Amino acid sequence: MKLPVSTEWVLHCATTLAQLEPGSTASAAQLAAYYDLPAPYLAKQLQALVRAGVLAATTGPRGGFRLARPASEITLLQVVEAVDGASSPYECREIRQRGRGALPPQDCRDTCLLAAKMADAHDAWRRALAADSLADVVAALPPTAPARTRSLLASAATAPRRPS
């Protein structure tokens, strides 16, 4: 399974926001500078997290993004599905019933074995992501990471971007 690069971005940004003090926010510009990402495209991805109820956004000079609920209540699956959707990446097109090798209809009454295996794999992937929350990820970081993240994020908006 190959996910878009934006999936990595939102997972890291959500984890970063989970490291902030309660009530604190970070702007799309701060997060983009922190990770050296294109701010306009990142902002669109963050808005998808807002629409999904993962993040909350505030406007104004002290505005930005924050988690919409406690990090322990936000799973990795919720973050991924907010930007990538919930549909399976595998779609069986029943090619077993086409071409010279087509099986007779009576042999295709049951779900295609390969489609079933792929569905099982997708379900396992979803269960694994649903089992871990942002709080679990933050808890697995080195103990100094949250303070370092908060410090660097605060200065990220003013740091010059590296040339592309």
Q: What local confidence, expressed as pLDDT, does residue 120 receive?
A: 95
Specify the pTM: 0.86
Q: What local confidence, expressed as pLDDT, does residue 164 receive?
A: 45
Q: What mean pLDDT comes out for the span 43-72?
A: 93
CA distances from 40 to 10, 32, 46, 88 (A): 14, 9, 10, 28
Tens-place pLDDT, residues 4-44: 888 999 999 999 999 999 889 999 999 999 999 999 999 99
Q: What mean pLDDT comes out for the span 98-123?
A: 92
Which residues neighbour 160 within 8 Å (Cβ) at sequence distance 6 or greater?
A: none
Q: What local confidence, expressed as pLDDT, does residue 69 receive?
A: 96
Distance CA 95, CA 113 (A): 12
What mean pLDDT is reported for the chain?
Answer: 90
**Best CA proximity match to 22, nearest among 82, 78, 72, 59:** 72
Q: Is the pLDDT of residue 133 over 70?
A: yes
Q: What local confidence, expressed as pLDDT, does residue 76 receive?
A: 97
How much of the chain exceeds pLDDT 70, in percent? 94
**With bands split at pLDDT 50, 70 and 90, how would you rate the model's confidence at 160?**
low
Q: What local confidence, expressed as pLDDT, does residue 16 receive?
A: 97
* Secondary structure tally for the chain: helices H, strands E: 7, 2
At how many degrees (to 10) do helices 28-35 and 5-18 cross? Answer: 110
Q: What mean pLDDT comes out for the span 149-163?
A: 70
Q: Which two tokens stand for residue 158?
A: 């003013």
Q: Which two tokens stand for residue 83?
A: 């930007």
Which of 60-69, 82-91, 122-131, 154-163 has the highest mean predicted lDDT (pLDDT)?
122-131
Beta strands in the chain (DSSP E): 55-58, 64-67
